[in-house]
Amino acid sequence: MNQQKIIMDVHDRPKAVKWMLLSFQHLFAMFGATILVPLLTGLSPAIALMSSGVGTLAYLIVTRGKIPAYLGSSFAFIVPIVSVSQGGKHVGEALFGCLLVGITYGVVALVVYRHGIRWLDKLLPPVVIGSVVIVIGLALAGTAVDMASKTDITVQMPQTAEEWAAVNGTIKEVNPENSTVTVHVYSLKNFIVALVTLGIAIVANLFCRGFLRNIPILVGMIGGYLVSLMMGMVDFTAVYNAEWLSVPDMTMPVVSWNAAMVMLPVTLVVLAEHIGHLLVQGDIMGRNLAEDPGLHRSLLGDGIATSIASMIGGPPTTTYGENIGVMAMTRIFSVWVIGGTAVLAVLFSFVGKISALIQTIPTPVMGGVSILLFGIIASAGLRMLIENRIDFNDRRNLVIAAVILVIGVGGALLRLANIHLELEGMALSTVIGVLLNLVLPKQDQENQEAVKAA
């Protein structure tokens, strides 16, 4: 791939009209995933757009304009943010944990600058990272299906024990003042919309060509939105009432060391993801980006972007494979194009009607694309294990992967009440996976290598 002709190199600046079109292409490539994370976690989509744009500009400055990468909302933090924020009640605490993740990036960048990256390879081998990435996807599977197939309805409060027992669904809220109960129930109508959305996204991914093939999630969301619109599931009241220009509501971090302990283990996953993206992009461009401008600069740029997002109420950021795919297809690596995309994202965050329009997207539409997205995340972890040829005849690899998967997918919880520490699901499985990798002996592997050598 890196032998193909470069259409536009890193510092080439296109003419105005072409520049705008190329930047919009990257905007659409990242848009669906960037706004999906805040929608799933209860954060502001407008702030997510703003923070991704500002963070990307900061990243381009830190990397001296040598890495044309776009930074959008990271999917790895969906579970811990939802866990900590508890339906929006503790968003500030979740943002504090995210801020410490950004600071941790800076610390790791300093260590990489001083000592290189060999220690990271030992701490995070493919068997650990691949298994954790699978957990990230599968831990969200229940959320995706719930969004796709269920809805909330309000009914009159039952009066007798028999009526309470006959309530169909999960009771989410009881309102004694209005004598009503909110029940979470199965909805065939919602599930149909979700399946149509999923189908459109799959068709776009497999059969569309050119630009559309790079935005299957956005195509699916648009298709599902139109279907739900025809079925009367969209309310435009908020759009009519919204101002054309408005400043997004910002949320500040609130100190919580418990939230920090939930968030920080995820740093191991996103570090591996970041390094992988950098190596892939360097291969596409035909140059060693880990050396020039350096992995430490790339990590520092991502850390600064995550810190900026956390301080204003946005989700942590990560380099986007979607935008790397666009560059691989077009052979256009201009940082001016990526910078233009970042500016467009910031401008869109101040258009109140666009923010309100995003909020009108029905939950089953998000559920439909989430089925594909979360499945792709899990599949990416499986692919990582295959591509690195992880040998599961080696009992050490088998034990590490098995423990990570069951603890992560099962939602195991480690709670130490005396020191207010909780590690749950993905975070706990990541920590245990790293510890197992460090303490389990490698005798079997060494013996096998000795036999082969003999």
pLDDT confidence band for 3 (50 / 70 / 90): very low
Question: Cβ distance 423 to 257 under 8 Å?
Answer: no
Exposed / middle / buried, residue 168 (Cβ in 10 Å: 0-12, 13-18, 19+): exposed
Q: Residue 7 falls within a domain, yes or no?
A: no
For 9-38, what is the mean pLDDT? 81
Predicted pLDDT at 449: 53
Domain shared by 196 and 172, yes or no: no
For 345-372, what is the mean pLDDT? 83
Residues sharing a CB contact under 8 Å with residue 383, sequence separation 6 or more, in sequence order: none
Domain boundary among the residues 133, 162, 186 is at 186
Domain boundary among the residues 133, 159, 186 is at 186
Q: Is the pLDDT of residue 358 over 90?
A: no
pLDDT confidence band for 2 (50 / 70 / 90): very low
- Euclidean distance between CA atoms 111 and 189, whole angstroms: 53
Q: Is the pLDDT of residue 305 over 90?
A: yes
Domain shared by 377 and 430, yes or no: yes
Predicted pLDDT at 53: 94
- Euclidean distance between CA atoms 291 and 33, whole angstroms: 29
Domain shared by 71 and 105, yes or no: yes
For 14-41, what is the mean pLDDT? 80
Predicted pLDDT at 103: 93
pLDDT confidence band for 71 (50 / 70 / 90): very high
Query: What does the angle CA 44 – CA 48 – CA 51 come to, to the nearest 5 degrees?
Result: 130
Predicted pLDDT at 35: 80
For 147-172, what is the mean pLDDT? 78
Domain shared by 49 and 160, yes or no: no
For 275-293, what is the mean pLDDT? 79
Domain shared by 239 and 380, yes or no: yes
Domain shared by 176 and 79, yes or no: no
More confident residue, 435 or 31: 435
- Please state the domain count of the chain: 2
Structure token digits, residue 327: 């560059």
More confident residue, 213 or 262: 262
Predicted pLDDT at 195: 94
Q: Residue 47 falls within a domain, yes or no?
A: yes
Domain shared by 93 and 58, yes or no: yes
For 19-40, what is the mean pLDDT? 79
The model scores a pTM over 0.75 = no
Count CB atoms within 10 A of the CB of residue 196. Answer: 20
Predicted pLDDT at 238: 81
Exposed / middle / buried, residue 244 (Cβ in 10 Å: 0-12, 13-18, 19+): exposed
Question: Cβ distance 252 to 313 under 8 Å?
Answer: yes
More confident residue, 226 or 157: 226
Q: What mean pLDDT, rounded, does the chain reach?
A: 82
Range of the domain at 331: 16-149+190-453
Rounded (10°) CA dihedral 364, 369, 375, 378: -110
Domain shared by 30 and 175, yes or no: no
